[in-house]
């Protein structure tokens, strides 16, 4: 007698929905800003940019000679403030509409460019071509495997000695738990929207930085957030 497991009733392949999800959100009437920040007020959006610049300064550092790349750049909240301090800022996003809006908001900045990515890798970006990769307020929208895939991609595109920063809501913080419970209780199983926020934890970040092969890495917390940063070794890994 054969038994039917839950896996047998799943579709053969789960659809890859990052692109369609974020393209639709960016085009909604309430606007891309709403889905980037949770509010519609643009002034408030750009006020938070200083906090993010402060985090980058305190972790990976910001130098005039650096090529920076942001994974999931949204409407350019961070890039707009960062570009004047660096050699080049590259905004990557899965949504062409987010990129269009970011282009409008960074008009006049000569050292800014954008790359539309698949949602699973940074394939158009050459190996060892960037000094700093960062990813902020994006991991919460990704499955855990895809977060790690971006850690590996960050390492691939970083120059030897290049720096990587990422963050996510921390499930062990009061605010992170509130967010987790909000999603769990608000939506029935199977009705959770694809972009619904998912937390990380300190052990997840420590594991990703170590397994991806970063060195001199650190993982820290602040209210709501877990964040980590590390350096790509400047010599090939020993076998």
Ligand X SMILES: C[S@@+](CC[C@H](N)C(=O)[O-])C[C@H]1O[C@@H](n2cnc3c(N)ncnc32)[C@H](O)[C@@H]1O
Q: How far is the CB of 30 from ligand X (least distance, A)?
A: 14
Task: Tell me: does residue 167 bind ligand X (CB under 6 A).
Answer: no
**Three-class SS string for the chain?**
CCCCCHHHHCCCCCCCCHHHHHHHHHHCCCCHHHHHHCCCCHHHHHHCHHHHHHHHHHHCCCCCCCEEEEECCCCCHHHHHHHHHCCEEEEEECCHHHHHHHHHHCCCCCCEEEEECCCCCCCCCCCCCEEEEEECCCHHHCCHHHHHHHHHHHHHHEEEEEEEEEEEEECCCHHHHHHHHHHHHHCCCCCCCCCCCCCECHHHHHHHHHHHCCEEEEEEEECCEEEEEEECCCCCCCC
Q: Are 152 and 209 in contact (CB under 8 A)?
A: no
Stretch that binds ligand X, among 1-9, 57-65, 93-101, 181-189 (CB under 6 A): 93-101
Q: Which of 141, 147, 156, 163 binds ligand X (CB under 6 A)?
A: 141
Task: Tell me: does residue 90 bind ligand X (CB under 6 A).
Answer: no
Task: Tell me: does residue 95 bind ligand X (CB under 6 A).
Answer: yes
Q: How far is the CB of 171 from ligand X (least distance, A)?
A: 18
Distance CA 91, CA 233 (A): 24
Q: Which of 56, 90, 98, 132 binds ligand X (CB under 6 A)?
A: 98
Q: How far is the CB of 219 from ligand X (least distance, A)?
A: 19
Task: Tell me: does residue 138 bind ligand X (CB under 6 A).
Answer: yes
**In angstroms, how far is CA 199 from the centroid of its own chain?**
13
Q: How far is the CB of 235 from ligand X (least distance, A)?
A: 30
Distance CA 20, CA 27 (A): 11
- 20 to 59: interface string for ligand X, x by CB under 6 A: --x-------------x-----------------------
Q: Which of 59, 67, 74, 199 binds ligand X (CB under 6 A)?
A: 74
Q: Which residue is nearest to ligand X (CB)?
A: 74
Task: Tell me: does residue 200 bind ligand X (CB under 6 A).
Answer: no
Q: How far is the CB of 215 from ligand X (least distance, A)?
A: 25
Stretch that binds ligand X, among 4-12, 55-63, 140-148, 209-217 (CB under 6 A): 140-148
Q: Which of 72, 176, 228, 230 binds ligand X (CB under 6 A)?
A: 72
Q: Are 67 and 131 in contact (CB under 8 A)?
A: yes
Task: Tell me: does residue 99 bind ligand X (CB under 6 A).
Answer: no
Binding residues vs ligand X (CB under 6 A): 18, 22, 36, 71-74, 77-78, 93-95, 98, 117, 119, 136-138, 141-142, 146
């Amino acid at each position: 007698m054969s038994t039917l497991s839950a896996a047998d009733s799943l579709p053969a392949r789960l659809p890859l929905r990052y692109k369609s999800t974020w393209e639709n959100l960016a085009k909604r009437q309430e606007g891309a800003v709403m889905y980037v920040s949770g509010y519609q007020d643009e002034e408030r959006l750009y006020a938070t940019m200083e906090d993010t610049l402060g985090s980058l300064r305190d972790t990976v550092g910001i130098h005039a000679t650096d090529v920076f790349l942001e994974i999931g750049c949204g409407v350019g909240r961070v890039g707009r403030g960062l570009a004047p301090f660096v050699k080049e800022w590259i905004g990557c996003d899965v949504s062409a509409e987010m990129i269009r809006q970011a282009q409008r908001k960074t008009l006049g900045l000569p050292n800014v460019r954008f790359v539309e990515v698949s949602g699973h890798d940074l394939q158009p970006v050459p190996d060892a071509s960037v000094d700093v990769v960062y990813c902020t307020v994006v991991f919460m929208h990704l499955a855990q495997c895809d977060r790690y895939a971006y850690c590996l991609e960050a390492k691939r595109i970083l120059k030897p000695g290049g720096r990587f920063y990422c963050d996510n809501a921390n499930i062990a913080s009061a605010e992170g738990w509130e967010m987790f419970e909000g999603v769990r209780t608000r939506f029935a199983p199977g009705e959770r929207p694809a972009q619904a926020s998912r937390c990380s934890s300190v052990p997840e970040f420590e594991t990703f930085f170590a397994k991806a092969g970063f060195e001199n890495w650190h993982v820290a917390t602040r209210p709501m957030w877990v964040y980590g940063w590390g350096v790509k070794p400047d010599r090939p890994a020993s076998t």
